[in-house]
Amino acid sequence: MLVALLLLQGASQVVAGGSRSRWTYAGPYGKEHWEADFPDCGGTAQSPIDIQTGATWHDPSLLPVLPLGYGSLWDDTFTLHNNGHTVKMSLPPTMTLQGLPWVCTAVQLHLHWGRQGQAGGSEHRLDGEAAPAELHVVHYNSETYANLSQAQHQADGLAVLGILIEAGDTPNPAYDNILRHLDSVQHAGQSISIPAFDVGELLPQRLGHFYRYNGSLTTPPCLQSVLWTVFHQRVRISSAQLQQLQQTLFSTELGSPHPQPLLDNFREPQALNDRLVLASFPVGPTGYSTGEIIAIVFGVLVGCLGVGLAAHFVAKRIRTKRRREHDVVFKSSSKRVTVG
């Protein structure tokens, strides 16, 4: 068993480091071919997923995610790198995450996005709906493992935060800390040092409202070692910022004879299979929150009360009218009797 595991681990390292490690989002090395070179991509616990919020399981024991040291800047700079698949920013080991089953240490963050004029771009979806982009903050279980390379092969090795990003009118200054430097890493292989900033500001405000499930890396080698936290609340950047993300980068190196724009770097939702998706907050069967359900029930009750009262008064009126008619008939007939 142990030997088999070691062999497997060795084999996957060879694949990751070997010549067959090439992959892209489209074309002959595209998503549908990942499984051939990276067998885990065909696994049964893959990411991303489409989270059916009404089918999630409320687990009140889930603690709010607690980022520590996200804002205390030990390093003056972060490194921004275009690796041909995404733009990635290295994170210092002084950034940790609590509230998960194990203490986690941050490693890097990166983004996924679509293209201008199309709705999708995020990897995770909520009730079938994709956002225009998604931020992933990658951590490893530093309580149990020495580093990312060791942890990523273990079932309890990694923890990734997923943040859905939507576009609005107002520029988001936190995201500008990254986006304004994209010009300097336009081509694959390029890196630049950028001033450090509070990474916590890239997260949504409500850190206590999230979905959690066991999944994988969303890119080859698709290792099934990620405990996912996908926040319910989205963050908002401006439409201009979204365009900057969609239109600045190339997946090819500087001087390439066939420059390729870096866009649509997202994977479609994978089968949930027999996995459970937990929610840290009560989500109703239709995806409504408790507050919304209370409002709906209250509204319906008030409505019923209104209809009931109306019916009561109409019935009362009819009864009064009938009684009056009856009285008239009675009186006239008694009159007739009198006259007769």
Ligand X SMILES: *[C@@H]1O[C@H](CO)[C@@H](O)[C@H](O)[C@H]1NC(C)=O
Count of chain residues binding ligand X (CB under 6 A) = 9
Stretch that binds ligand X, among 36-44, 124-132, 143-151, 233-241 (CB under 6 A): 143-151
Cα–Cα distance measured from residue 11 to residue 15, given in angstroms and rounded to the nearest whole number? 6
Applying CB under 6 A, does 147 fall inside the site for ligand X?
A: yes
Shortest Å distance, C-beta 280 to ligand X: 11
Applying CB under 6 A, does 211 fall inside the site for ligand X?
A: no
Burial class (CB in 10 A: 0-12, 13-18, 19+), 169: exposed
Stretch that binds ligand X, among 82-90, 142-150, 167-175, 310-318 (CB under 6 A): 142-150
Cis check for the bond before 204: say yes or no (omega within 30 of 0): no
Applying CB under 6 A, does 6 fall inside the site for ligand X?
A: no
The residue type found at 268 is E
Beta carbons within 10 angstroms of residue 239's beta carbon: 15
* Cβ-contact 65, 99 below 8 angstroms: yes
If you write DSSP's letter for every residue of 283-336 in order, what string do you get? B-TTS-BHHHHHHHHHHHHHHHHHHHHHHHHHHHHHHHHHHHHHHHHHHHHHHH
Cα–Cα distance measured from residue 164 to residue 147, given in angstroms and rounded to the nearest whole number? 27
Exactly one of 2, 3, 146, 339 binds ligand X (CB under 6 A); that residue is 146
Query: What is the bridge-based pairing of β-strands 158-168 and 235-238?
Result: parallel
Shortest Å distance, C-beta 45 to ligand X: 9
Stretch that binds ligand X, among 4-12, 114-122, 201-209, 210-218 (CB under 6 A): 210-218
Instruction: Closer to ligand X by CB, 95 or 111: give it.
Output: 95
Distance of CA 236 to the CA centre of its chain: 13
Stretch that binds ligand X, among 80-88, 134-142, 208-216, 217-225 (CB under 6 A): 208-216
Instruction: Closer to ligand X by CB, 150 or 252: give it.
Output: 150
- The three-class DSSP label of residue 133 is strand
Burial class (CB in 10 A: 0-12, 13-18, 19+), 328: exposed
Is 136 considered catalytic here?
no
Instruction: Closer to ligand X by CB, 172 or 224: give it.
Output: 224
Residues 69-128 that bind ligand X (CB under 6 A): none
Instruction: Closer to ligand X by CB, 181 or 212: give it.
Output: 212
Applying CB under 6 A, does 12 fall inside the site for ligand X?
A: no
Q: Which of 33, 58, 81, 85 is catalytic?
A: 85
Applying CB under 6 A, does 150 fall inside the site for ligand X?
A: yes
Residues 212-241 that bind ligand X (CB under 6 A): 212-214
Applying CB under 6 A, does 149 fall inside the site for ligand X?
A: yes
Distance of CA 243 to the CA centre of its chain: 20
Applying CB under 6 A, does 153 fall inside the site for ligand X?
A: no
Binding residues (CB under 6 A) for ligand X: these are 146-147, 149-150, 212-214, 276, 278
Residues marked active site are found at 85
